């Protein structure tokens, strides 16, 4: 098969994204490569496609056990034979992997960097043909990056010990020029093709908020994002635990993740989040590197990170499916003190001299200053990030809170007073519809029969759309300014008195436009979409994988639009590989045909 056939058969795409084909061609021609591509840009395809075309095995060096497991599970769903080698396997399991690899059962093997120079692994590598060595999250090799891993420094020595030097490839999402130079030199890339596709993630919306009370602001965001999957990052384990307990008691769908939890609890919590059993995970930076959860629609930083690289990598875990997503930073001055404490009290690093440690400390202080600038200065947030990574920028992006206005809330005191006064003037005996008619000035038969047209509040909001008045009422119901009787009549809660008579202001959290897939339109059959998502969840549960591992949100929405009736029509939907078509195609087609038949009968 050629590269396009491999791409289509295993990944379900008909064409490559920017930078992918160039990197793949270089690898197939035996040339080392370095790919700097933003999260969600398809780095994995750059080495997985050639891995399936080259003879022998591709070794992928990966920093986290959870990441390896996710990657291997994902490849299995695509019908690609792969395995991982790390500390989570027993000796018997390791021997089984080695035996199957030598028998040619695997094309891709993920391995922890700490495993490279162990006698057993070195002996294994002498017995098999390694056609490509891929270093994933390659920024971990650099002291000057944000995720330095000592074991990554063993990669160069490992390459020198191999009987035959393979093609060596390195990939990462975030790397300054200094880190890129380290990747090339410390790994020992030979005349590599360097492809930097750009750092911009156009589907991400960036926002910085400086709230008086972070927890209040966080609750408001989580209420806005209700029903969606998201990550809340904290700078300390203590913050994670406190926030988790608070939100859990308030019935939010949350779990947590940090290095202080047991392995079993971390795995359980991560699996619940990945599998959509919990909407939100509250975590330190120990969570997320390489986590392939495509439907994360928001990332909130409860504390400011120590540098732009960390922030951008963590924020970039939102919107991997290409749908629009939000990246919000809740900033306060105390975040600076916390980050300076981390800088002045670093983890011990025996690889560095005292002079190098001080140089690194000064560099981290410089990086912190740039992060503070991002959090406090009124300039385009997206452009600031892109410029940090050396990318030229243009004018306003119109996709950040600075370009679109920095306020996180709007003053709704006047409409609140009008609505509350109207409810009081009808003696708390009418429901939402009547209140809207009075405020709008609608002379309905009922309004006239009750003489409500004589009220002082009649027509008080005539310049507002009915839908806008209704949204205000719904907001005040949600936040318990007003309540609803069993009869449907609205009545005022005690705190309304301060707003009506004591001059207290009311602010309403600014609404965000509904973010959805670019293929979502009025043509989506919502009932069919719900049926297909329910079916996907059932199939995912049977396979023991997350919903999006069966089919992406994009593919499911596209089916609800196109309503394919044949396998050939289904094959045209991007992201449905031949393997998934054979595995799930028939059952999805039956559900679509059944839905369409039922609708025809009802019509």
Domain boundaries defined on the chain:
3-196, 204-388, 409-509, 526-602
For 347-374, write each residue's pLDDT tens digit: 777 767 788 788 888 988 999 999 999 9
For 439-487, write each residue's pLDDT tens digit: 999 999 999 999 999 999 999 999 888 988 998 998 898 777 899 988 8
pLDDT score recorded for residue 134: 96
Q: What percent of the chain has pLDDT over 90?
A: 50
Among 549, 550, 548, CA closest to 588 = 550
Question: Does 3-196 carry CATH code 3.40.50.410?
Answer: no
Split at pLDDT 50, 70, 90, the class of 504 is confident
For 166-213, write each residue's pLDDT tens digit: 999 999 887 788 889 999 999 999 999 999 887 888 889 999 998 889
pLDDT score recorded for residue 406: 52
Could you tell me the pTM of the whole model? 0.68
For 124-163, write each residue's pLDDT tens digit: 999 999 999 999 989 888 877 667 788 889 999 999 999 9
pLDDT score recorded for residue 515: 41
Instruction: Report the alpha-carbon distance of residue 236 to residue 509 in Å, rounded.
Output: 27
Instruction: Report the alpha-carbon distance of residue 230 to residue 281 in Å, rounded.
Output: 7
Instruction: Report the alpha-carbon distance of residue 317 to residue 289 in Å, rounded.
Output: 8
CATH fold of 409-509 reads Arc Repressor Mutant, subunit A (1.10.10)
Quick one: CA torsion of 572, 19, 318, 474, rounded to 10 degrees?
-60
Split at pLDDT 50, 70, 90, the class of 409 is low
For 412-433, write each residue's pLDDT tens digit: 888 999 999 999 999 999 999 9
Q: Note whether 548 and 556 are within 8 A (CB).
A: no
Lowest mean pLDDT among 181-190, 327-336, 366-375, 518-527: 518-527
Residue with tokens 């420094």: 153
pLDDT score recorded for residue 454: 95
pLDDT score recorded for residue 600: 53
DSSP 8: I
In degrees, rounded to 5, the angle at the alpha carbon of residue 339 between the alpha carbons of residues 216 and 362 is: 155
Paired tokens of 552: 């992406």
For 69-110, write each residue's pLDDT tens digit: 778 888 888 889 899 998 888 889 999 999 999 999 999 999
pLDDT(602) > 50: no
Mean pLDDT, rounded, of the chain: 87
In degrees, rounded to 5, the angle at the alpha carbon of residue 64 between the alpha carbons of residues 62 and 70 is: 85
How many Cα atoms are found within 13 Å in the side-chain-facing hemisphere of 378?
5
pLDDT score recorded for residue 117: 93
Pick the CATH number of 204-388 from 3.40.50.300, 3.40.1190.10, 3.90.100.10, 3.40.50.150: 3.40.50.300
Among 418, 240, 236, CA closest to 339 = 236
- State the average pLDDT over residues 387-408: 78
Would 3-196 and 204-388 be classified into the same CATH topology?
Answer: yes
pLDDT score recorded for residue 463: 85
Tell me the CATH architecture of domain 526-602: Orthogonal Bundle (1.10)
pLDDT(164) > 90: yes
Q: What percent of the chain has pLDDT over 70?
A: 94
| Torsions phi, psi for 311 (to 5 deg) | -60, -45
């Amino acid at each position: 098969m050629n590269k396009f056939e491999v791409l289509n058969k295993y990944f379900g795409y008909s064409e490559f994204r920017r930078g992918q084909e160039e990197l793949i061609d270089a690898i197939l021609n035996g040339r080392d490569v370095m790919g700097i591509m933003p999260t969600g840009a398809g780095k994995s395809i750059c080495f997985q496609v050639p891995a399936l075309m080259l003879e022998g095995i591709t070794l992928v060096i990966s920093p986290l056990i959870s990441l390896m497991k996710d990657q291997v599970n994902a490849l299995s769903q695509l019908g690609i034979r792969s395995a991982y080698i790390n500390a989570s396997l027993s000796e018997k399991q390791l021997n089984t992997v080695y035996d199957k690899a030598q028998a040619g059962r695997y094309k891709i093997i993920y391995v922890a960097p700490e495993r490279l120079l162990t006698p057993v692994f070195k002996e294994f590598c002498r017995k098999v043909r390694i056609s490509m060595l891929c270093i994933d999250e390659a920024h971990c090799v650099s002291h000057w990056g944000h995720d330095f891993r000592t074991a990554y420094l063993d990669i160069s020595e490992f390459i020198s010990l191999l009987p035959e030097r393979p093609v060596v490839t390195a990939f990462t999402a975030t790397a300054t020029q200094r880190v890129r130079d380290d990747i090339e030199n410390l790994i020992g890339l030979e005349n590599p093709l360097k492809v930097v596709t750009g750092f911009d993630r156009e589907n991400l919306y960036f926002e910085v908020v400086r709230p008086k009370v972070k927890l209040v602001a966080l609750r408001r965001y989580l209420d806005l994002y209700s029903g969606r999957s998201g990550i809340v990052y904290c700078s300390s384990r203590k913050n994670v635990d406190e926030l988790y307990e608070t939100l859990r008691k308030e019935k939010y769908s949350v779990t947590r993740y940090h290095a202080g939890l047991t392995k079993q609890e971390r795995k359980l919590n991560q699996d619940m989040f990945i599998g959509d059993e919990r909407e939100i995970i509250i975590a330190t930076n120990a969570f997320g590197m390489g986590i392939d959860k495509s439907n994360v629609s928001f990332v909130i930083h409860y504390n400011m990170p120590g540098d732009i690289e960390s922030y951008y990598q963590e924020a970039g875990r939102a919107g991997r499916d290409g749908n629009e997503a939000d990246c919000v930073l809740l900033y306060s001055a105390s975040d600076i003190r916390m980050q300076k404490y981390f800088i002045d009290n670093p983890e011990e690093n025996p690889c560095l001299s005292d002079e190098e440690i001080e140089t690194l400390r000064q560099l981290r202080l410089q990086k912190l200053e740039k992060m503070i600038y991002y959090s406090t200065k009124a300039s385009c947030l997206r452009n600031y990030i892109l410029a940090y990574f050396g990318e030229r920028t243009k004018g306003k992006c119109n996709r950040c809170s600075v370009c679109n206005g920095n306020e996180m809330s709007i003053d709704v005191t006047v409409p609140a007073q009008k609505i509350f006064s109207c409810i009081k003037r009808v003696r708390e005996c009418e429901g939402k519809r009547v209140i809207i008619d009075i405020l709008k000035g609608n002379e309905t038969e009922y309004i006239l029969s009750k003489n409500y047209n004589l009220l002082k509040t009649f027509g008080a909001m005539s310049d507002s759309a009915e839908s806008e008045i209704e949204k205000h009422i719904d907001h005040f119901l949600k936040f318990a300014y007003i309540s609803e009787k069993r009869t449907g009549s609205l009545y005022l809660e005690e705190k309304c008195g301060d707003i009506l008579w004591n001059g207290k202001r009311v602010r309403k959290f600014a609404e965000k436009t509904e973010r959805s897939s670019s293929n979502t339109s009025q043509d989506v059959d919502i009932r069919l979409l719900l049926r297909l998502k329910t079916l996907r969840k059932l199939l995912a549960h049977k396979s023991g994988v997350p919903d999006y591992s069966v089919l992406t949100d994009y593919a499911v929405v596209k089916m609800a639009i196109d309503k394919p009736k044949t396998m050939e029509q289904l094959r045209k939907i991007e992201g449905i590989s031949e393997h998934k078509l054979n595995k799930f195609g028939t059952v999805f087609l039956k559900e679509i045909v059944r839905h369409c038949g039922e609708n025809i009968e009802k019509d």
